[in-house]
């Protein structure tokens, strides 16, 4: 659902897009293809992935079906030779490169203790180093273009400690991409090469988001990002550089008044999941004391949960949760969906928790009642998570299952 009209400004231009075999990268490629642009699909996926659809070859077919020209290249942005070879092939086929889109990215929403160094290196080598490398190698060709752009899919540099505290390794890796924008926009200004960043206001319905949350109903379609990218890449590089743009701001400036068609579920237009790094959520207080059994909605809630725990739920979830509840019903609770037949109740779990969640009692009740999704609560700062964030997000699917039984 593209709402920004194609103008033909990218006709004949050559775009080198990393990670363009699926998701946002492919959406940007397809939008440019409608202008008759040339697109280098620089991504790793040459063979179909068992869980993620799309390869460099299927993306190339879609690009050409829309009127563009495509060059599928097997590229791991960590490998300098592979990047250079793809650039050389682009020069042979298209006589140069006008636009570089640094879209390839790796993510692990884990705290310091839970982030193994292999995953740390992967994120930094793909996100920060890969962006720097592709920009460095494309630079000689961009200098020869009269419409040179570099666009990084990275966030504004929000230095709130919150965004570092929950996944410092990932934050550093993404901010590395943004620091490339900050530095290169000034460094390349004399060459009339625009360097900008683009980031979504909300979660975007990509395969990665679906795997993380199990749900895309509170997300927007990739089209809002591709529309915004298109609008940015059509601007004069001599005057439009050094910007940290947000997708919805860009499309509004391009004349889109109604953003509702971008929503995956129009009924959730007022309940979209905000993306990382854009706001400064409220900080949580110290962990509460151990809960006491007795009256109140939370003890009743855990009593109901205990009746719904099954071997199948334990097998599917494989996680231990600790809940630090604040406010009127302050206390500590646990839910073990990893060991034996599963268990829940007051106090810390017998086994070390995979994820510890801290939130106000009212939000906690809303979360288990299905009124507030854990992912939404986390992004809004109503929920603080420490430990394995991806296991914490499994609560979304689990709560749907529990709600149906309670």
Rounded CA separation 5/39 (Å): 19
Strand intervals (E) in 190-327: 193-199, 244-246, 319-326
- Report how far residue 88's alpha carbon sits from residue 352's, in angstroms, rounded to the nearest whole number: 52
Residue 18 contacts residue 77 (beta carbons within 8 Å):
yes
- Annotation marks residue 170 as catalytic: yes
Phi, then psi, of 74 in degrees rounded to 5: -75, 110
Residue with tokens 């440019």: 32
Q: How far apart are CA 92 and CA 89, in angstroms?
A: 5
C-alpha 140/C-alpha 344 separation (Å) is 61
- The 10 Å Cβ neighbour count of residue 201 is 18
48 vs 62: CA distance, rounded Å: 16
Q: Distance between CA 316 and CA 311 in Å, rounded?
A: 9
H or E element, residue 100: strand 99-102
Q: Which of 162, 170, 230, 321 is catalytic?
A: 170
Q: How far apart are the first and last CA of the chain?
A: 38
Task: Give catalytic residue positions.
Answer: 170
């Amino acid at each position: 659902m593209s709402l920004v009209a194609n103008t033909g400004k990218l006709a004949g231009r050559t775009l080198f897009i990393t990670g363009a075999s699926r998701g946002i990268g492919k959406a940007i490629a397809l939008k440019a293809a409608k202008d008759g642009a040339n697109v280098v699909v620089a991504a790793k996926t040459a063979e179909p992935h068992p869980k993620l659809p799309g390869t460099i070859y299927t993306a190339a077919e879609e690009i050409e079906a829309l009127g563009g020209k495509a060059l599928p290249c097997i590229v791991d942005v960590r490998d300098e030779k592979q990047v250079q070879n793809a650039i050389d092939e682009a020069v042979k086929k298209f006589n140069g490169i006008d636009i570089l889109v640094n879209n390839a990215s790796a993510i692990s929403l884990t705290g310091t203790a839970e982030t193994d160094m292999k995953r740390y290196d992967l994120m930094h080598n793909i996100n920060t180093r890969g962006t720097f490398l592709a920009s460095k190698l494309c630079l000689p060709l961009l200098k020869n273009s009269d419409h040179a752009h570099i666009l990084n899919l990275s966030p504004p540099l929000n230095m709130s400690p919150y965004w570092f505290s929950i996944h410092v390794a990932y934050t550093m890796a993404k901010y590395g991409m943004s620091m490339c924008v900050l530095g290169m926009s000034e460094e390349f200004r004399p060459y009339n090469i625009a360097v900008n960043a683009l980031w979504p206001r909300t979660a975007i319905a990509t395969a990665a988001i679906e795997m993380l949350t199990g749900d895309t109903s509170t997300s927007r379609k990739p089209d809002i990002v591709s529309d915004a990218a298109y609008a940015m890449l059509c601007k004069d590089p001599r005057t439009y550089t050094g910007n940290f743009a947000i997708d919805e701001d860009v499309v509004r400036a391009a004349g889109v008044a109604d953003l509702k068609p971008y929503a995956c579920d129009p009924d959730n237009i007022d309940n979209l999941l905000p993306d990382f790094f854009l706001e400064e959520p409220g900080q949580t207080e110290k962990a509460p004391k151990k809960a006491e059994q007795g009256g109140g909605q939370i003890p009743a809630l855990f009593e109901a949960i205990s009746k719904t725990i099954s071997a199948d739920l334990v097998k599917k979830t494989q996680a231990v949760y600790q809940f630090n509840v604040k406010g009127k019903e302050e206390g500590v609770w646990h839910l073990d969906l990893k060991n034996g037949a599963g268990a829940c109740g007051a106090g810390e779990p017998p086994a070390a928790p995979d994820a510890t969640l801290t939130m106000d009692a009212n939000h906690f009740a809303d979360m288990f009642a299905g009124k507030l999704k854990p992912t939404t609560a986390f992004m809004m700062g109503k929920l603080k998570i420490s430990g394995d964030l991806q296991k914490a997000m499994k609560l979304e699917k689990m709560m749907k299952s529990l709600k149906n039984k309670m």
